[in-house]
Amino acid sequence: MIPPSNLTFQDNLDPADWVAYRDTAAGFLQHLLEWVQHAPARPVWQEIPPSLKSQITDEVLPIDGEEISSICREFIDRILPYGPGNLHPRFFGWVNGAGTPTGILSEMASATLNANLGGRDHSAVYIERCVLNWCKEIFGFSSASSGILTSGTSMATLCALAIARTTAVGDIRRSGLQRHARQLVAYTSAEAHISVTKAIELLGIGRDNLRLIPTDASFQMDLSALERAIKKDLAENRQPFAVVGTIGTVNTGAIDDCVEISRICRKYDLWFHIDGAFGAWASLTEDHSSLRDGIACSDSIAADFHKWLHVPYDGGCLLVKDERVHYETFSTSQPYLARTGRGLGAGHPWFCDYGPELSRGFRGLKVWFLLKEKGIGRVSSSIAKNCAQAKFLEEMVQLSPSLELMAPTQLNIVCFRYNDYDSDDGELNKINSEIVTRLQESGLAAPSTTILHGKLAIRVSIVNHRTSIEDLESLISYVERIAAEPLRRIVA
Ligand SMILES: *Cc1c(COP(=O)(O)O)cnc(C)c1O
């Protein structure tokens, strides 16, 4: 046998010079940690120069490799400065976690083990089980309940509603849903996250069969409207099967009355899923500990680690009270994936039997690192701090003659707008949108916007453990300063 030319059987993809490699790696890590340390001193966000966008996008496929040191340098010079901004204490957009240095270490550790969490018998599996046990304890689920780590709440909610569908119609994995006699219907609030709609679409139920129940003045689901909608669907011979409640809506941080929703679900025999993406973690704080009552009444809950827990993207979890129906919905058997009593094929039950994916990354490790390092004490006090900061900002808005509060602040989100009490709503929408764009482009602060009852609001979501009261005072003064610029002419 002659090896193909230029190839030797000694070749592999490891470094030729391990010592030099380790030096480069140590220097790189040093740089990354310093980058995080000094994040507050940089602009919140800066646009990537257009030429750099195309240079990055259109780079030719490398045929011959280059030195790792030059790739690290390129990352530092061209990629790192133009990130999404969520490390910065004045990043207030959407709901993004701020990360921690420990996130960097844990991701490196996870890549070192390079574990596939589909199943089998190895240490990473036990870390994921441990993290799930901690989540069960946090959310008051019994140890008999099941769970799985997911890419986030979208995936967790998709899985939860698939399990709810199994509960409602039995095993349709062979026959599909077409043979099912009655139209399935689900319910959520008009303020619910779009991932609920997507899940209903993907499950073949169709979004016309997701009822978006109106909300009250605090943006919580109107429960008499919910019950009326259920009764109407029953009267018209459809099959209600699930209600999704939200703890912490993305628009305003509104919290549905989960205890009451669960009563309605018991009455009509419906699955009750909670989207607790970020808000569910507030149940760890003293002020919001009563959220645990509602969570305990649910059949399943989805929550994210990459938001208020600051674990690096991505990571979330699904917990399910009924382990059996969870397993029934996703379990498979394949000779190639034989579960055995001993050896690497042991470690039953396998996570691939509790979700759609076979190969799964080691998401548990970064959660394990974070919770061990900070403890629940520090995690919950950083969440409580953000809620207190939101109350402070709400007061500042109420004290300002030119700012108008647009929604009650229930958790960590404050929605307000600049109002000169001279322009109509259409003009104010344009002015406030321009204020937010200028804030982002200046790199001073990065809130986002939303629409509440047709009015555009500056939306400040405080999820960052680095945010201080001074950052919020600065935000208000930046908004007032930009509003004093000749905005009307520009937006006209
Ligand atoms: C972020 C969020 C989601 C979606 O979660 P992902 O982790 O982004 O998939 C769903 N619901 C709420 C309330 C959210 O904040």
pLDDT digit string (tens) for 2-12?
Answer: 556 666 666 89
Q: Could you identify the residue written with the tokens 């930046």?
A: 478
Tokens of 396: 């500042």
Closest listed residue to residue 436, CA positions, set 418, 411, 414: 418
CA of 181 to the centre of ligand 1 (A): 32
Query: Nearest Cα to 39, choosing from 107, 106, 101, 108?
Result: 101
The CA distances from residue 203 to 179, 184, 277, in Å, are 14, 11, 20
Higher-confidence position of 30 and 332: 30
Q: Is 275 near ligand 1, meaning CB less than 6 Å away? A: yes
Angle 318-297-353 from CA coordinates, rounded to 5°: 30
What b/e sequence results for 177-206 when a residue is b if at least 16 CB atoms lie within 10 Å of its CB, and e otherwise? Answer: eeebeebbbbbbbebbbebbbebbeebebe
Residue type, 168: A
Q: In the 8-state DSSP scheme, what is residue 76?
A: I
16 pLDDT higher than 60: yes
Pocket test for ligand 1, best of 86, 95, 150, 154 (most atoms within 8 A of CB): 154
Residue 219 and residue 407: Cα distance in Å, rounded? 8
Question: How far is 229 from 270, CA to CA, in rounded Å?
Answer: 13
Q: Given this model, what pLDDT does residue 262 score?
A: 98
3-state DSSP call for residue 212? strand
Question: What's the predicted TM-score (pTM) here?
Answer: 0.96
Confidence check: pLDDT of 1 > 80: no
Cα(381) to centroid of ligand 1, in Å? 22
**Torsion 12-17-18-24 (CA) sign:** negative
Q: Report pLDDT digits (tens) over 301-313.
A: 999 999 999 999 9
CB proximity list for 428: less than 8 A, separation 6 or greater: 417, 418, 419, 420, 455, 456
Measured in Å, residue 154 CA sits from the centre of ligand 1 at 6
Per-residue pLDDT for 492 more than 70?
A: no
Q: Count CB atoms within 10 A of the CB of residue 79.
A: 12
461 Cβ closer than 6 Å to some ligand 1 atom = no
Q: Which residues make beta-bridge pairs with 303?
A: 317
The residue type of 61 is L
pLDDT at 213 over 90: yes
Q: Which residues pair with 451 in a beta bridge?
A: 456
Is 471 touching ligand 1 by the criterion CB < 6 Å?
Answer: no
Q: Tell whether the torsion through CA atoms of 319, 325, 329 and 333 is positive or negative.
A: positive
pLDDT in tens, 238-258: 999 999 999 999 999 999 999
Give the count of beta carbons closer than 10 Å to the beta carbon of residue 274.
30
Atom of ligand 1 nearest to the CA of 316: 7
Q: How far is the CA of 301 from the centre of ligand 1 (A)?
A: 12
The answer to whether 262 and 272 are in contact (CB under 8 A) is yes
Atom of ligand 1 nearest to the CA of 279: 13
pLDDT tens, position by position, 188-204 = 999 999 999 999 999 99
**What's the alpha-carbon Rg for the chain, to the nearest Å?**
25
Kindly state if the Cβ of 439 falls inside 6 Å of ligand 1.
no
Atom of ligand 1 nearest to the CA of 276: 13
Q: Does ligand 1 have an atom closer than 6 angstroms to the CB of 245?
A: no
How many CB atoms neighbour CB 63 within 10 A? 5
- Are the beta carbons of 341 and 333 closer than 8 angstroms? no
Dig out the tokens for 13 from the structure. Answer: 């993809």
What are the structure tokens assigned to 59, written together? 């780079």
Pull the structure tokens for residue 163: 């399990």
**C-beta neighbour count of 173 within 10 angstroms:** 12
Amino acid at 256: D
Coil, helix or strand at residue 492: coil
Q: Whose CA is nearest to atom 9 of ligand 1?
A: 154
133: tokens are: 């046990």
Q: How remote is the CA of residue 193 from the centroid of ligand 1, in Å?
A: 7
Cα 55 to ligand 1 centroid, rounded to whole Å:
32
pLDDT 10s digits, 80-103: 999 999 999 999 999 999 999 999
Specify the pLDDT at position 180: 83
Which long-range contacts link 382-385 to residues 24+ away (Cβ below 8 Å)? 382/465, 383/281, 383/282, 383/284, 383/285, 383/308, 383/412, 384/285, 384/286, 384/287, 385/465
Whether the per-residue pLDDT at 299 is higher than 70: the answer is yes
Looking at the DSSP bridge assignments, the partners of residue 244 are 188, 273
3-state class of 23 per DSSP?
helix
Compute, in angstroms, the gap from residue 274 CA to the centroid of ligand 1. 12
Separation of CA 159 and ligand 1 centre (Å):
14
State both tokens at 138.
């946090």
Does ligand 1 have an atom closer than 6 angstroms to the CB of 277? yes
Atom 14 (ligand 1) nearest CA: 277
- DSSP-derived secondary structure for 51-74: HHHHHHHTPPPPSS---HHHHHHH
| 261 confidence band (pLDDT: 50, 70, 90) | very high
CA dihedral for 383, 42, 448, 161, sign (positive or negative): negative
Identify the weakest region by mean pLDDT among 19-23, 343-347, 456-460. Answer: 343-347
Q: What is the number of the ligand 1 atom nearest to the C-alpha of 306?
A: 7
Pocket test of ligand 1: the residue of 304, 318, 367 to mutate, having most ligand atoms within 8 Å of its CB, is 304
According to DSSP, the β-strands at 146-150 and 210-213 are unpaired
User: Which position has the token pair 């039997």?
Assistant: 353
H or E stretch covering 223: helix 223-235
- 121: helix, coil or strand? coil
Residue with CA at minimum distance from ligand 1 atom 12: 277
Distance 277 CA to ligand 1 centre (A): 5
Instruction: Check if 325 has its Cβ closer than 6 Å to any atom of ligand 1.
Output: no
Measured between alpha carbons, how far is 490 from 295 in angstroms, rounded to an integer? 48
Q: Establish whether the linkage from the previous residue to 349 is cis, with ω within 30° of 0.
A: yes
φ/ψ (deg, to 5) at 242: -155, 150
State the pLDDT at residue 414.
98
In tens, the pLDDT along 392-403 reads: 999 999 999 999
